[in-house]
Amino acid sequence: MSSVSPAESSSVDSAGIHPVVAGAAPGLYRVLADGPGETGGVLAGREVPSDETLLRLYRAMALVRAVDERMITLQRQGRISFYGAATGQEAAVIGSGLALEATDWVVPALREGGIALLRGLSLSDYVNQLFGNGSDIEKGRQMPCHYGHRDVRYVTLSSCIANQLFHAVGISLAARLRGDDTIAVGYMGDGATSEGDFHVAMEFAARLRAPVLLFCQNNQWAISTGVRGQTLAATMAQKAHGYGMDGYRVDGNDVLAVHALTSHVVAEIRRTGRPAFVEALTYRVGAHSTSDDPSRYRDESITERWKERDPLRRLRPLLEARGLWDDARDAAFISDVAERLKAEVQRAEADAPPSIDSLFDDVYAAVPPHLVAQREALRGSTAHLKASSH
């Protein structure tokens, strides 16, 4: 078996939010009462956030879903080169992202772009990055989905698995040295826990008492390697025990549970100055990226069962019961997002590419003589290209 079944993901940790106990049967912190044999609503003893927060969580997840669907279509049409969607994982992304302060730093893996939007990255900047055009703040230097923006404290991700984690540790230590009440969150997939950089980050975080949250979206597939093929550990969360660190486990498709647990853990990190690890158990219902075909290596009947645990489908009944959402509002929201995306894509596609001169920017404060010479040589060798474009 290469993945956890949806039935296993419905187990409830009835004791509330607490670290995973070594050797104990693995449970999950949940809020929504929509598992087998449950009647819907909210589990007894669980708190529900305000109506404003409920709507913000749902709308943010729905925005991520709509953006992902549109961008996958663009890639299939050959209009962008690559895309990695968060389909089915929106609760883990948005639930954790909304638990952070604006002053905190996000050090992402592939599927956290929705957090950048949540924190204020404009849809224009998001789309520009995918096209790598002249308005792209990264000047076309990164492949699509590698967003980054200092203003929203969202660090540009690296495609190298797990190397972002000790960067998150370093950022949190720097914040402590500055006296800032700031934490960093290092995101990863389950595959990152098989990398040496993961263990380096965990060791340094624990030993140096870094105020960092290491957050694992366990979607059960590291491209084509199932989680059971990576580790004999019953859970990812229990790996934290080897480093003297608290590890937590949450239903990664229950946005209310993710938000509540992450809020609690973040508060504990601020209070104690100690790191923590969170495993959000979810499932990658789509391909790893637009370069992947999961039907070649996994049982897609399990995928169909996981689609029944869809984060938006699970939250919507609660919103409808509170009079916060209905079909008309849903249609209006989807239409508005579609129109915004259409306009942004048209604008981004019409934009010119980054200038060739930008190749020499942002390395030195002042361009040194040898690079000035190279720039002039490049201008001369490409002048005919500009002339032929007119």
pLDDT per residue as tens digits for the range 57-93: 999 999 999 999 999 999 999 999 999 999 999 999 9
How far, in Å, CA of 290 to CA of 73, rounded?
10
**Residue 306: enclosing H or E segment and its boundaries?**
helix 300-307
Which domains occur in the chain, in start order?
A: 8-350 (3.40.50.970), 356-388 (no CATH)
Burial 299-334 (b: 16+ CB within 10 A, else e): eeebbeebeebbbbebbbebbeeeeebeeeebeebe
Q: Which of 18, 150, 207, 297 is catalytic?
A: 297
pLDDT at 387 over 70: no
Query: What is the reported pLDDT for 363?
Result: 87
Cα–Cα distances in Å, from 268 out to 19, 197, 211, 262, 274? 11, 25, 10, 10, 8
- Out of 65, 284, 309, 316, the active site residue is 284
Q: Is the pLDDT of residue 2 over 80?
A: no
Pairing state of beta strands 246-251 and 225-226? unpaired
**Distance between CA 7 and CA 208 in Å, rounded?**
39
Longest dimension (CA), the chain: 72
Average pLDDT over the chain, rounded to whole? 93
Tokens of 80: 């962008």
Catalytic, 147? Answer no
Q: Are strands 276-281 and 221-222 parallel, antiparallel or unpaired?
A: unpaired
Mean pLDDT over 97-122 rounds to 98
Nearest to 104 by CA among 187, 180, 215: 180
- Among the listed ranges 49-58, 85-94, 204-213, 224-233, which one has the minimum average pLDDT value? 224-233
Token representation of residue 217: 């979206």
Q: What is the pLDDT of residue 7?
A: 61
pTM to 2 decimal places: 0.93
Radius of gyration of the chain (CA): 22
Active site residue 248: no
The answer to whether residues 64 and 86 touch, using CB atoms and an 8 Å cutoff, is yes
Question: Using CA atoms, how far apart are residues 285 and 85, in angstroms rounded to an integer?
Answer: 10
What would the two tokens of residue 306 be?
């996981």
Among this protein's residues, is 288 annotated catalytic?
yes
Q: What 3-state class would DSSP assign to 40?
A: coil
Q: Which of 288, 309, 314, 316 is an active site residue?
A: 288
